[in-house]
Structure 1
Amino acid sequence: MALNRIWSGFIIVAIVVACIKCFFFGQTEIFSWMVTGKADDPTNLTKVDGIIPTCWTAVELCLKLIGVLALFIGFMSIAEKAGGIRLLSRIVAPFFSKLFPEIPKDHPSMGHMIMNFSANLLGLDNAATPFGLKAMASLQELNPNKDVASNSQIMFLCLHAAGLNLIPVSVIAIRASQNASDPTDIFIPCLIVTFIGTMAAMLIVSFKQKINLLQPAIIAWVLGLSVIIAALVLYVASLDSTGIKSFSGILSNGMILLIFLLIVLGGVYKKIDIFDAFIEGAKNGFDTAIKIVPYLVGILVAVSMLRTSGTFDVIMNGITQFFVWVGADTRFVNALPTALIRPLSGGAARGMMVDTMTAYGADSFASKLSGVFQGASDTTFYVIAVYFGSVSIKNTRYAVGAMLLADLVGVCTAIGLAYLFFGNFK
């Protein structure tokens, strides 16, 4: 019941901190901020949407998600009826059957998971979520205890949250908008961090589930992926910023159109009722979006209370003072707000990244490290709330701990790589 304790802890800590600020430091407006918000400076941790506006935001997110889910799950329905998902499952079966031993051979969930991982790899957030929710639904069919997360669901979600991503398009775009001299300089560190984070997640969950990773199929797939990533790094490193932007756009958006084309052609070849299959899947997408509203409201409200109460300010001040006390290089501390808030809120972390660039300059060490943090993982608690909520999982077992441990590995790796690429240790 880790998520229950964490959620309760968020609310209790936020209210306690707010009470201390109100009654001991005279910040009487803090309660108003927590409930109604103060939106005149959204990049400031203490000036963000309160509880009520956050509820509206959660519902708005789900409303926007309805269309995306309907579209992509509709196409997934066509692919399933045409046999494309099972074909994909057979292709990845040699690897996934070792990593997910509880899943029967050629089960459609394997195809759904590989579609999700592929979308993540290309930075296609809008496509990754529908594919991931479909994968969770498929895995839930195999789950003997519908209220408790299965081993396969935990492994999938931890790998998904690690966020292996080839090109952090959104981070590069924001750095370009902030007039960074080389907006793409965070590309290689981001790619390495997400790869190491994914490997860490796989090792952590495999250890817990007693899965032997020293099997030929697993080693071959990991080495193959490593070679592909290394080749991509070498190619992209030879491009200028304009070339990288053009390449990323063609790769990501082109892949979506190619997938749609192949799915429709497959449906035509198999002579299925393509539009009827699409509508059937789209209806499921609509139902899924509505189902996750309560879970999303719950997690976003808890995060909002932490932010508006100033709890993150207290944590950051404590971390800064600690590293000053031990005499360590504190340059990385200025980027930590992005890392700390990233597991809780992607939008807030993006705001903190922009705030760091504004305060220290887009080419500063802190700004570059903040960009690596932003592009290095998914929003852990959002993923937990949405994905487990979509299949009504109540007991997440060790999923939260495994994800946060993998996040910690990613943060430490990002700091080390930032010093390697952007500045030397003092």
Structure 2
Amino acid sequence: MNTSRHTTIIVELSQASEKLDVIYSNILNKIHRFPSSLRSLDDGDYIVPRMVAIGPYHHGLQDLEDMEEIKKAATYHFCRDSGQPPEAVYEKVLAVAEDARSCYTDGGSVGALADFATMMFRDGCFLLQIMLWLLQDDGSAGRGAPSFTCRFNSMAALRDLFLLENQIPWVVMETLMACRPDVFRVVLREFIVYMGKFFQLHTDTDIGAKTLDLELDGGYKQPHLLALLHFHQSGGLSTSKELQLRGLETLPPVVTSAMDLAEIGVKLTPSRSVEFKDMALTKGPLFPVLSMPPLFLSELTACWLVNMAAFEATTAFPLGATTGEYTVSSYLTLLSMLMDRVEDVHELRAKRLIQSDFTNDRTLAFFKGGLTSYAYVNDRYIGILRQLADHKHKRWAWIAIHKFVYRYHKTIVTVLSIISVLIGIFHALLSINKP
């Protein structure tokens, strides 16, 4: 090989390495497309907005054009309430528009930079203003909101705000919140905590607030609004240093359903925490207890869960292992493992681990429809599987006794009742025959 050819190859390899370094060093700041591995789940429910497009990926959809006028009106109210003229606020967004456009993996170049900045300006103002209005009346167009807000369905709007492909970069949000920092720091915190309540039927207002405050102080830099909700629901950054991808190692053979766990004596119980990271298998007197955060499954939360799992999938190797980004996928995978039959869903409902607007059949279909087939899982999930396998190996004698009693307890009770009656009759006969 001649010297010039050798030099060319070295330069090409070096450039490729530098290019990948740039890509991966910034992967968590990107706004990604919905991953292809999960697109088989979508039947129009999880990817495309139904009411409002945020950012460039779905900008200009004809069905969503009506909301553009509401965005303009919301922008007017945002600027008026901030005490700054719209052109001054726009100039601030324009100053960060180039950085914002670089956050989109594709589709970010919508016309000229000024046109892109205008979209960011309106979408960002709309997002912040709509949070303010929604909080004023506990989740619907608030008492302080103008009358035109009745034109949109608040639940449909909330669904769209947390779609992976419907996000704007945080640099835009920070720029706009700086217009009223004291107001929107509180609004953002309360809004995310309130959104977290949709995953539970009963939650304390302050649950997760401390963790979220730490995040807002700079413990973790979210790329967009969906990432902030993900951070809040996951319970903050994981201390896990180990990433597990299904297939990279042989997982221990374990029981695979709620009914099977009941047979071997493992008690299922909802944890007191609502953060998805708080799932654990703990020792009991004879048998272990598997605790998991309870989940309320609805059209809204199902959509958000899929998009949070998609967000995790887009931040895979190499950074995911050190950022704790697989909490939601691990939680959903463990729940999916517990469901093989409709009877398992019924058992999980009885244990209050799942409550749902869905039927048992639809709940089972959601979890078994491919959601966790390609999911990354963390070492917390792997640890639970290993503990279950260890329990089956070490406590096999107690398990055999418990399984027999569990399967035939009705028959055992019936036989014991018959024996008790016969003993009573026998004693009665003996007392009659006594002189």
Q: What band does the TM-score fall into relative to the shorter chain?
A: under 0.3
Q: Which has the higher helix share?
A: 1
Using the size of structure 2 for normalisation, the TM-score is: 0.21
Q: Which has the higher strand share?
A: 2
Using the size of structure 1 for normalisation, the TM-score is: 0.21
Q: For the pair shown, which has the larger CA radius of gyration, 1 or 2?
A: 2
**Structure of higher RCO (CA pairs closer than 8 Å, 6+ residues apart):** 1
